[in-house]
Amino acid sequence: MKKLMLILVMSCFGAGCANWPEASNQALNQTSVERAPKEEMKGRVQHVVLIWFKSDVSEQYIKKVTDETKQLTHIPGVITVNAGQAIPSDRPMVDDSFDLGVTMTFDSVADMKAYVNHPEHKAFLKRYIMGKVEKLSIFDFQ
C-alpha cells in the first residue's frame, strides 16, 4: 500500500511539472547573473522593498521618491541603497508590476533593525510612503 501511494504521488508530481524544466531553463538562459565572491556577501543582510503606488500618484512623484530613497545611505548601518522602477519583461515568471524597487545592504540583522526604527527612516515613510501606496512587499534575507 505504501509503495502504491508513493507511486501515485510521484506520478502526480511528475505530471504537474512536465513542462517546468524546459520552461525554466529557457527563462534562466535569457539572462546572465554576475555574482559577488562569497567572501564579500558572507554575513550581509539584504532588505528588498517593492512598492505599488496608488493610481493617482504621478511618475514625477515616483521619481522624487526614488531619488530621496537613494539618500538614505547616511543612516548608520546602511551599506548600500539601490532604487529604481521595474524593468518591463515579456518573461512570464517576472513580476514587473511594481512601481519602485529598493534594495538595501546591511552588515547584520541588528543593523537592519536599527535602520527600521531610526527616526529618519520613520520620517521618510511618513513623508513619502504612507497614504500613497496600494501595496508594499518586503523581503529580508541573508
Query: pLDDT for 31-55, tens place per residue?
Result: 444 455 555 555 699 999 999 999 9
Neighbours of 51 (CB within 10 A): 24
> Cα(85)–Cα(36) distance, rounded to whole angstroms?
23
pLDDT at position 102: 98
Distance of CA 105 to the CA centre of its chain: 12
Altogether, the residues listed in the chain come to a count of 142
What's the pLDDT at 10?
A: 44
How many angstroms separate the first and last alpha carbons of the chain?
43
Is 10 within the bounds of a domain? no
Q: How many domains is the chain built from?
A: 1
Judge whether 6 lies within some domain.
Answer: no
Q: Which range marks the domain in which residue 56 is found?
A: 40-141
Q: Which residues of the chain have pLDDT under 70?
A: 1-43
The CATH number of residue 114's host domain is 3.30.70.100
* Domain membership flag for residue 106: yes
Grid cell digits, residue 73: 545611505
Output the nine-digit C-alpha cell for 19: 513542462
pTM beyond 0.75: the answer is no
pLDDT confidence of residue 67: 97
Predicted local confidence at residue 109, as pLDDT? 96
Judge whether 53 lies within some domain: yes
**What was the pLDDT predicted at 39?**
52
In-domain check, residue 96: yes
Buried b vs exposed e over 99-138: b needs ≥16 C-beta within 10 Å? bbbbebbbeeeebbebbeebeeeeebeeebbeebbeebee
